[in-house]
DNA sequence: CGCTACGTTGAGTGGCATCAAGCGCGGTGG
DNA sequence: CCACCGCGCTTGATGCCACTCAACGTAGCG
């Protein structure tokens, strides 16, 4: 199976073999492993390279002075940690590993080559950014307007859909390395209330959740419960060539 | 006084006279006026050009099927409605005018000229985007972690700071064309509770609010109340040349 | 086998929503 | 000119959703 990020970019533009080779070269120069619950980069760090998540889950988060913590976005396999970070000197928030994370680093020169000499890759990367922004806005809606149950249902729908895009689902199941505390910091709820809401989702058969594995027996039902409309993920754009692989 | 957007871009990069002339040309080709409470663009609309807000306030918002509405971001004078929208066919959310809005349209060709032939403008536009993303994340924190009073205090600090950047403050005052309903749809609170929270902010002297005018007698106090840390607005980057104008 | 992290459960509380009514003001038309 | 209306602001009463505090269960692990 192709790596997640290739699979993902390929859905946003039809890449040539040449494009893919260049991508492979640029992303296989340097990498590292970050243990679960460690920081990938910390707020204030000097920006060296762009990190691409090859495996594992990470998140962007911000702390308030009194210790409250908000996870502002999830970074799943194939996702890039902020392209536009190159115009910045220092990180303006921290990125933490949720599970063990495998990183690939993209150097400034490598990125510039991609952007200038590979227009289809450039297009795909623009899409990546656009979708990331759109997700960020949807989270605003989630936190501002939805009830606890809707928030969690919506989150699960989003996660499942994003993982499916990069081939990390298995039937109606996928991994879910988030603790209930994590879920609370994503949805703006207390861990206790997350627990009770999960029980409700379970008892109504909307989700099955055990040993870090999420199963969604009927996606439509969960989507209804979470008012999930996948439009903001812009899957409608997904490349024509997918017809061949699906 | 220079137009807001020029003033803003100039804080993100030092523009030459040539840069400014080109910007002026590109943005003065076409424009339109949108009345208060009308939509600037509607979800599903075909994307024609990039809109730049020359005057007035607008907002991006999303509706839920049952009528709930969330304002996901404020667009103030000098702000651009999504650069990366050119890779999209149709708008994925609506933009509404809060007060009467004066728009300038940037054509695809005009934008491409700017991005390729004017590196400093390109840099400034990247910054614009980066800051917009950062603001979006901060709103996630606001909705997820802060109390009603903190949310509104934080919002006021952000608005005042952003307006100050483009020269639209007057001492410790600025315009605030938002209704309490708008404030509720921004902060995820009911209009009734916004009202009561505003009274609390007023009675403690943190803000003065009357006839669409916001006054912040002591910015530090309000910032403390809202846990406002301006780092996410990246003002520290603001150009060296500002020394001359301030 | 104790430690730690995570999950679960119960009781009590409170922040914010909802419902409802009234007020003030500017706009509009008879 | 004034009655009328609509919109936004204000206030009170009531209730619920979600928080806090606290205790206990459970599983992985050194």
Burial of A205 (0-12, 13-18, 19+ CB in 10 A): exposed
Longest dimension (CA), chain A: 54
The residues near B242 (Cβ < 8 Å, ≥ 6 apart) are B11
Q: Would the CB atoms of A145 and B69 count as touching at under 8 Å?
A: yes
**Min Cα separation B10/chain A (Å):** 15
- A207 CB-side CA count, 13 A: 28
Q: What does the alpha-carbon distance between residue B164 and residue B168 come to, in Å, rounded to a whole number? A: 6
- In tens, the pLDDT along B149-208 reads 999 999 999 999 999 999 999 999 999 999 999 999 999 999 999 999 999 999 999 999
Residue pair B198/B205 in contact by the 8 Å Cβ criterion = no
Interatomic separation, CA of residue B182 and C1' of nucleotide C23, rounded (Å): 21
Look at residue A244 in the predicted model and tell me its pLDDT: 38
Q: Would the CB atoms of A140 and B139 count as touching at under 8 Å?
A: yes
Report percent pLDDT > 70 for chain B: 95
Element (H, E) at B171: none
**Min Cα separation B142/chain A (Å):** 9
Output the pTM of the full model: 0.94
> Closest to A64 (Cβ–Cβ): which among B72, B145, B231?
B145
The sign one gets for the Cα dihedral A176, A67, A89, A140 is positive
Interatomic separation, CA of residue B212 and C1' of nucleotide C25, rounded (Å): 14
Q: Would the CB atoms of B136 and A133 count as touching at under 8 Å?
A: yes
For residues B28 and A153, the model is more confident at A153
- In chain A, the residue whose alpha carbon lies closest to the alpha carbon of B60 is A137
**Min Cα separation B25/chain A (Å):** 26
Nearest to B35 by CA among B88, B102, B118: B102
> Closest to B143 (Cβ–Cβ): which among A73, A92, A144?
A144
Nucleotides of C under 7 A from a protein CB: 5-11, 15-20
Q: Which of B141, B146, B230 to mutate to test the interface with A (most CBs of A within 10 A)?
A: B141
Q: What HEC string does chain A produce?
A: CCCHHHHHHHHHCCCCHHHHHHHHHHHCCEEEEECCCCEEECCCCECCCEEEEEECCEEEEEECCCCCEEEEEEECCCCECCHHHHHCCECCCEEEECCCEEEEEECHHHHHHHHHHCHHHHHHHHHHHHHHHHHHHHHHHHHHHCCHHHHHHHHHHHHHHHHHHCCCEECCEEECCCCHHHHHHHHCCCHHHHHHHHHHHHHCCCCEEECCEEECCCHHHHHHHHCCCHHHHCHHHCCCCHHHHC
Q: Would the CB atoms of B92 and A65 count as touching at under 8 Å?
A: no
Flag residues of chain A having pLDDT under 70.
Answer: 1-2, 237-246
Chain A residues with CB-CB distance to B69 below 8 A: 145
Look at residue B237 in the predicted model and tell me its pLDDT: 66
Residues of chain B by 3-state class (helix, strand, coil), percent to 5: 50, 20, 30
Q: What does the alpha-carbon distance between residue B222 and residue B122 come to, in Å, rounded to a whole number? A: 35
**Min Cα separation A223/chain B (Å):** 13
- B140 CB-side CA count, 13 A: 29
> Closest to B70 (Cβ–Cβ): which among A64, A144, A237?
A144
**Min Cα separation A36/chain B (Å):** 23
- In tens, the pLDDT along B11-21 reads 888 888 999 88
Residue pair B60/B93 in contact by the 8 Å Cβ criterion = yes
Does nucleic acid strand D have an atom less than 7 angstroms from the CB of A193?
yes
Nearest to A244 by CA among A9, A11, A76: A11
Look at residue B35 in the predicted model and tell me its pLDDT: 94
Burial of A243 (0-12, 13-18, 19+ CB in 10 A): exposed
- In tens, the pLDDT along A91-139 reads 999 999 999 999 999 998 899 899 889 999 988 998 999 999 999 999 9
Does nucleic acid strand D have an atom less than 7 angstroms from the CB of B71?
no
- A20 CB-side CA count, 13 A: 15
Report percent pLDDT > 90 for chain B: 69
Chain B residues with CB-CB distance to A227 below 8 A: 64-65
Look at residue B242 in the predicted model and tell me its pLDDT: 43
Chain A residues with CB-CB distance to B137 below 8 A: 60, 62, 72-73, 93, 136
Chain B residues with CB-CB distance to A144 below 8 A: 70, 143, 185-188
Fold type of domain A4-245: Jelly Rolls (2.60.120)
Look at residue B87 in the predicted model and tell me its pLDDT: 81
Chain A residues with CB-CB distance to B133 below 8 A: 82, 84, 133, 136
The residues near A69 (Cβ < 8 Å, ≥ 6 apart) are A61, A62, A63, A185, B145
Q: What does the alpha-carbon distance between residue A95 and residue A38 come to, in Å, rounded to a whole number? A: 9
Task: Please say if the pLDDT value at position B241 is more than 50.
Answer: no
Mean of per-residue pLDDT scores for chain B: 91
């Amino acid at each position: 199976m192709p790596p997640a990020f290739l699979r993902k970019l390929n859905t946003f533009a039809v890449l040539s073999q040449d494009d893919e080779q260049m991508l492979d070269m640029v992303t296989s120069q340097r990498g590292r492993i970050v243990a679960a619950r460690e920081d990938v980069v910390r707020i204030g760090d000097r920006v060296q390279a762009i990190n691409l998540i090859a495996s594992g889950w990470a998140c962007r988060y911000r702390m308030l002075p009194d210790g409250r913590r908000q996870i502002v976005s999830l970074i799943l396999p194939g996702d890039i940690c902020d392209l536009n970070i190159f115009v910045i000197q220092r990180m303006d928030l921290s990125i933490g590993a949720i599970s063990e994370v495998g990183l690939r680093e993209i150097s400034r020169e490598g990125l510039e080559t991609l952007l200038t000499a590979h227009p289809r890759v450039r297009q795909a990367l623009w899409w990546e950014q656009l979708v990331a922004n759109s997700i960020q806005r949807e989270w605003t809606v989630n936190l501002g307007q939805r009830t606890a149950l809707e928030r969690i249902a919506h989150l699960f729908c989003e996660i499942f859909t994003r993982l499916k895009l990069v081939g990390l689902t298995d039937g109606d199941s996928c991994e879910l390395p988030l603790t209930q505390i994590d879920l609370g910091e994503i949805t703006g709820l207390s861990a206790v209330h997350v627990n009770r809401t999960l029980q409700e989702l379970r008892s109504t058969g909307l989700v099955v959740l055990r040993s870090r594995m999420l199963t969604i027996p009927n996606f439509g039902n969960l989507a209804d419960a979470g008012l999930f409309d996948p439009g903001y993920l812009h899957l409608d754009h997904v490349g024509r060539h997918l017809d061949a692989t699906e």
